[in-house]
Structure 1
Amino acid sequence: MSVEYAINEETMIEGADLFAPDLILATYLTKKIPKEVFTKYPTFIIHPGPFGDRGAYALDNAILNNMKEWGVSILEADEEFDAGAVWGHRNFSLPEHATKGYLYRTVVSDLAIELVDELIEKLKSNKKPLTNPKKPLHPKVTQSIRAIEWNKDSSETIIQKLNASDNYPGIKDRFFDCEVYLFGAVKEQTGLEKKEAKPKEILAKRDGAVLVKTIDGAVWIQKMTEIKNGIRQIKLPSTYVLKDRLKGIKEERISLYVDPDLPTFKEITFYKKQNVGFLAFDFYNGAMSSEQCIRLKYAIETLRDEVDVLVLMGGEQFFSNGIHLTILEDSKKQGEDGWSNINAMNNLIKTILFSDDILTITAFRANAGAGGVFLGIAGDFVFAKSSIVLNPHYRTIGLSGSEYHTYTLPRRVGKEIAQKLLDEALPLNAQEAKSIGLIDEVFKNFQEVESYALQLAQDEERFYELLDQKRDRLEQDKEYIQECVENELEKMYPQFWDPKSDFHKLRHNFVYKICPTQTPLRIAKHRRVNA
């Protein structure tokens, strides 16, 4: 298998000819596949719409039109847009308040994998595809369609519009003198929404989000992207964008962790079953700032007195992706704030590693990358959902990495495989991760993790035997673990503090979404010298 980015027609044609594939799969393309490719090689497109659906903005339209059921299809590439034969399709119920990004990363991706397996079986057995009914193309969803009418739209309508625009392109708006795109809406229903104010007035702030009055309540806006001189900047917490304009707006704090059902903006939630705790940390796009790391660390320290087994659940869209790159990019003290962020992440992971009075279980319910993977494998037991992808490396962002990975990674997979994972910088699916020992078990339904955790806590003999083994290992490895993290930080120090380090350039390109000019050789096997 090899990968070619759809940068332009020339590179697509060249890449296909270099590899001469038996099959080409194109996922959610924004560019048309050249005729020179699909007439020469069997080429199929994953489309995030049901049978016969055509055109861009498929999920945007599904959410905006309040569809109860939607689908995913696999189509044969054709000169006409999404008009090729249909080789498979699956429908699903649209979850209430699901964002476009959430659908892509969960149910759409899961069904796409099923459809690819089905396609291969059909091709092997010479089965025929279905005729495409060629329905009309979706209308383009412009900013004028997405726009929020604050004096007219209900809270539900505003959330629906923002969900259809998340994670991109957002909804264009203006707050104070600041032109912005808005992202990440959450309905407020704990009483703050009853404050007297005009629609669009900001009522409160919390952990980077702002609470905005609507005609029938209030909604939290988590992120904004400022527009300067007509140019889109990077996505940041709303308070980072509005800054001093929020003078006098009260920070409405909540507990360190709250019930998952509390109807407000929250990042850390907790519930308990018997003597097992379930801790979720749903940070936007999986990015974790110093402050978020500190809050999560305190939550875990507090819960050690309340439970025997603690399940670390991450978020629903991402488990974690490590340090917060956009906040670092925005910082005027990038070295200092980057150093603070990695140390806050390390302190969080140290708390998990050395929690010798409880057993911890990591449940990768969603994808994870870089430090987020190493946060997860700090747990005593590691489970991963069958459909998730892990990227256990730092290389693509120009960091050597910390998060105790030089201790936890070789301990799980051995030194040789650990170095290979870091050097090759390739994604792993859950099954691959289990086969090399990076994780312990693969699950399809979270209830499997719940059952395991409850059984572990109830089996006192096994629980205390495992706890004793953990304490003995930590006591034996204590000095070595400290040596590992000190060596990691020594390597990372110049990567943060030297303004000419690769990290600063690669981070800038990543957060500003600067399109690459070529496909990286680590995934474009056909472009390597020895191909």
Structure 2
Amino acid sequence: MRILLLAGAFNSLTQRAHAELADRGHHLGVELVTRGTPLATLVPRHAPDLIVAPMLTTAVPREVWSAWPCLIVHPGPLGDRGPSSVDWAVHLGAERWGVTVLQANDAMDAGDIWATAECPVPAVGKSDLYRNEIADAAIEALLTAVARFASGTHRPEPQHTLPATRLLGRPRPPLRQADRRIDWAADPTETVLRTLRAADSRPGVRDELLGGTWFLHGGHPEDTLTGRPGELLATRHGALCRATVDGAVWIPELRPARAPGEPATVKLPATLALGDRLLPLPEAPAPLEAGDGPCTWTDIRYHEDGPAGFLRFAFPGGAMSTDHCRRLLAAYRYACTRPTTVLVLGGQRDFFSNGIHLNVIEAAADPAAESWANINAIDDLVHAVLTTTDRLVIAALGGNAAAGGAMLALAADEVWCRSAAVLNPHYRLMGLHGSEYWTYTLPRRVGPEAAGHLTARALPVTAARGQRLGLVDRILDCTAQEFGDHTGRLARRLAAAPGIQPRIAAKKERRESDEARRPLAAYRADELARMRRTFFDPDAPYHALRRAFVRKEPPPGTPAHLNAGAAHAGGTAQVSP
């Protein structure tokens, strides 16, 4: 079918819907929608058989939904209505939630029901939940609804005829800052965490801190440090520890409140955002290996299970600053000193990595210099992975990976993906050529022609298509919560396999052969020469694209590559291996 996607942004769920529907042979168009988008004019140009809205914050006009069937993906269970559904799920501590696919009509979220799906709500942040359990349920319900529509025989159920016993949700108002307010003198840690997690990515929790107004983003429990409620206790790798009435929480990121008439502010590691406002606090290190000690948050952990080592990391939004890359490289080097035969690199769930940290770069006194430092730091990490020849390295992607983060995964010997992961192995939407040795790893994986297609078309790729292309070696069909256990079992089995040492020896020979053919230093030098020209050219599109991205500025229209279709299917330049 010809399916038109309407979305407020090409976000994680829209990307996954696009990739999943494309995998099933549908012909897709995309329109990114703001309040002023002339949909009545734009939609006829696509001549769709069906319109799907995976993520839409504005109403579809009557002249559109009355002329074309339009399915809305609502991230709430049957009967739920309102714009803050996932926020409420986390804020209320719900154990289960759901997604409803309904037909657009005059009333928001009140149309006939095409499909529903339920999901659990683990103790994670809203954005993590949205990208994983909610997205899994959304794709399940959406694919069911599309199949039902294609059958031509299914009739959706009017909501007003459904019995109350089937309505698991109810209409809810927007979750406002007044509802999110933290009372540091009275709220227990559990309440504070739910409040922070219900706003972790956007909009954050508005609060007063050190004489300023800030939005707090993200929250993790602390089991040891305590103090006067509301007091700042310590820092750790850019995060702040703040006391509650019965413990403390770690807050990774802050965003200053926006002054009237000023541009949108940028979310940053908390200590970086506070700058000189922050009085000296103790830096409270966390052990790389947790052992049996108290539970405390850190963004990098290492543990072993027999001959398998596991280096887990989780950075907000998947962005990796210069500091993140250097600390992860130090942890990786430590892991390589351990007597293991398999090393798993990756998080338990959610983002693997999205490459360099554009927010930190944007906030730097010299964004060009910080861009250069960041790209060199991630290149150093990738180089360490590529030159590890005494064990097998597995990149375990419980969630999405993009740009340099996708290329970091490709540096490993094998890439294992949760079936729901989406890959974006390209850079051009940020006006960059890219580095991370991608001109070596990507053609080696998929061939020069396919590498050219992937980087030029700049469209999301499902794990299943990634496996067909050669980007992915193993797909794990499991929930986000199960991914860590599944990778653990597979890694232990691989490490104990009788053929592991011959594989390691063969890997070493291949690396030596490749190095003799063309040194890794040559790939890096060529890539970085192009990146340096871009970073230090104030007129390069990268700078404007970066600013628009980090400040969440809507594009002036739908980017052309989303509707280029077959125009990019042939004739793209090949990448020389």
TM > 0.5 fold call: yes
SS of residue in 1 equivalent to 2:33: coil
Instruction: Return the offset for 1:267.
Output: 0.4
**What code does the residue aligned with 2:367 have?**
Q
**Pair 1:457-2:495 in alignment:** yes
Number of matched residues?
A: 524
Query: Matched residues in 2 for 1:77 and 1:91: separation?
Result: 21
Show the counterpart of 1:343. Answer: 376
Return 350-359 or 129-138, whichever deviates more. Answer: 129-138
Give the superposition deviation at 1:439: 1.2
Indicate conservation of the 8 Å contact 1:7/1:517, yes or no. no
SS class of match (1:234): coil
Spell out, residue by residue over 1:329-367, the C-alpha distance to the aligned partner (whole angstroms, 9 max, x if none): 000021221111101101101111111111011111100
1:474 maps to 511
Residues 228 and 177 of structure 1: CA distance in aligned 2, closer, same or farther (over 3 Å) = farther
In structure 1, the partner of 2:532 is 493
The offset of 1:513, in angstroms, is 0.5
Q: Distance in 2 between matches of 1:300 and 1:209?
A: 22
Question: In the aligned structure 2, how far is the partner of 1:452 from the partner of 1:69?
Answer: 29
User: Between the two proteins, what is the percent identity of the paired residues?
Assistant: 36
Change over 3 Å in CA distance of 1:467–1:23 after alignment to 2: same
1:81-131 deviation digits (Å, cap 9, x = unpaired): 111011111122221x22211111001111111112211232205122222
Deviation at 1:20, TM superposition (A): 1.1
1:248, distance to aligned residue in structure 2 (A) = 2.1
Determine whether 1:150 maps to 2:184: yes
Give the aligned residue type for 1:290.
T
Give the corresponding residue for 1:206: 236
In 1: Cα distance, 2:534 partner to 2:461 partner: 26
1:40 aligned partner = 67
Q: Is the 8 A contact 2:342 2:491 kept in 1?
A: yes
**Shift, 1:370, TM fit:** 0.3
Matches within 5 A, 1:353-372: 353-372=386-405
Output the CA distance in 1 between the equivalents of 2:451 and 2:290. Answer: 37
Helix, strand or coil for the counterpart of 2:267?
strand
Residue 106 of structure 1 is matched in structure 2 by 132
Alignment of 1:158-237 (within 5 A): 158-189=192-223, 191-193=224-226, 197-230=227-260, 231=262, 232-237=264-269
Q: Using the alignment, how far apart are the partners of 2:507 and 2:294 within structure 1?
A: 35
- Between 1:111-120 and 1:429-438, the stretch displaced more is 111-120
Q: 8 Å contact 1:75–1:85 — kept in the other structure?
A: yes
CA contact (8 A) 1:384 1:439 kept: yes
Equivalent residues of 2:221, 2:296 under 8 A apart: yes
CA distance in structure 2 between the aligned counterparts of 1:319 and 1:529, rounded to whole angstroms: 28
Residue 262 of structure 1 deviates from its aligned partner by 5.5
1:206–1:82 distance in 2 versus 1, CA, 3 Å: same
- Assess if the C-alpha contact under 8 Å between 1:99 and 1:163 holds in 2: yes
Give how far 1:529 is off. Answer: 13
Superposition deviation, residue 259 in structure 1:
5.5
Counterpart Cα distance in 1 of 2:253 and 2:376:
25
Counterpart position of 2:21? none
Alignment of 1:13-32 (within 5 A): 13-32=40-59
Q: Distance in 2 between matches of 1:340 and 1:315?
A: 28
Quote the Cα distance in structure 2 between the aligned partners of 1:341 and 1:266.
Answer: 21
Distance 1:259 1:491, change over 3 A: farther
Q: Which amino acid aligns with 1:61?
A: W
Matched residue SS, 1:3: strand
Question: Distance between the aligned counterparts of 2:121 and 2:502, measured in 1?
Answer: 45
Displacement, 1:501? Answer: 1.5
Deviation at 1:11?
A: 3.0
Mean Cα deviation higher: 519-528 or 473-482: 519-528
How has the CA–CA distance of structure 1 residues 151 and 369 changed in structure 2, closer, same or farther, with 3 Å as cutoff? same
Give the alignment partner of residue 119 of structure 2, picking from 81, 92, 97. 92
Structure 2 CA distance for aligned equivalents of residues 136 and 453 of structure 1: 44
Q: Does 2:425 correspond to 1:392?
A: yes
Say whether the 8 Å CA contact 1:210–1:238 is kept in structure 2: yes
- Is the 8 Å Cα contact of residues 7 and 518 (structure 1) preserved in structure 2? no
The residue correspondences of 1:423-442 to structure 2 (distance < 5 A) are 423-442=456-475
Q: Which residue of structure 2 aligns with residue 272 of structure 1?
A: 304
The counterpart of 1:380, out of the listed 400, 408, 413, is: 413
Distance 1:502 1:521, change over 3 A: same
Q: 1:471 to 1:256 in 2, by over 3 A?
A: same
Deviations 1:376-433 (A, max 9, x none): 0111011111111100000011110000000000000001110111111111011111
What's the CA shift string for 1:49-82, capped at 9, x where partnerless?
Answer: 1111111111122222222221111011111111
Deviation, structure 1 residue 26: 0.4
In structure 2, the gaps of 5 or more residues are 1-27, 163-168, 570-577
Aligned to 2:39: 12
1:203 CA drift (Å): 0.6
- RMSD (Å) for aligned C-alpha atoms: 2.0
Mean Cα deviation higher: 271-280 or 396-405: 271-280
The 1:259–1:14 alpha-carbon spacing in structure 2 relative to 1, beyond 3 Å, is farther
Query: What's the secondary structure of 1:181's corresponding residue?
Result: strand
Residue of structure 2 aligned with 1:242, choices 270, 274, 285: 274
Q: Which amino acid aligns with 1:476?
A: S
Correspondence for 1:512: 551
What TM-score do the two structures reach when normalised by structure 1? 0.95
Deviation digits for residues 260-288 of structure 1 (CA, Å, limit 9, x no counterpart): 99522210112222101121110111111
User: After superposition, where does 1:284-303 map in structure 2 within 5 Å?
Assistant: 284-303=316-335
* SS of the residue 2:453 aligns to: helix
Supply the distance in 2 between the matched residues of 1:279 and 1:526 (Cα, whole angstroms): 39
Query: In the alignment, residue 450 of structure 1 is paired with which amino acid?
Result: G
Q: 1:483 maps to what in 2?
A: 522
Provide the rounded CA distance (Å) in 1 between the counterparts of 2:344 and 2:193. Answer: 30
Query: Aligned pair in 2 of structure 1 residues 236, 529: CA closer, same or farther (>3 Å)?
Result: closer
- 1:452, CA displacement in angstroms? 3.2
Please say if residues 370 and 394 of structure 1, whose CA atoms lie closer than 8 Å, have aligned partners that are also in contact: yes
The answer to whether the 8 Å contact 2:457/2:568 transfers is no
State the Cα distance separating 1:33 from its structure 2 match. 0.6
TM-score (norm 2): 0.87
Once the 2 structures are TM-superposed, how far is the Cα of residue 526 of structure 1 from its aligned partner?
8.3
The whole-number CA distance in structure 1 between the counterparts of 2:277 and 2:348 is 31
CA distance in 2, matches of 1:411, 1:429: 20
- CA distance in 2 between counterparts of 1:258 and 1:335 reads 37
CA distance in 1, matches of 2:187, 2:520: 55
> Secondary structure at the residue paired with 1:4?
strand
Cα deviation, residue 228, structure 1 = 4.5
Deviation at 1:198, TM superposition (A): 2.7
- Give a deviation string over 1:441-484, Cα, whole Å, max 9, x none: 21113355334322322123x21211111111111222432211
Distance 1:329 1:36, change over 3 A: same
Q: Which residue of 1 aligns with 2:541?
A: 502
Distance 2:244 2:492 in 1: 43
Give the distance between the partners of 1:8 and 1:66, measured in 2 at CA. 32
* In 2: Cα distance, 1:452 partner to 1:222 partner: 32
Task: Give the equivalent residue in structure 2 for 1:71.
Answer: 98
Q: Which amino acid aligns with 2:297?
A: F
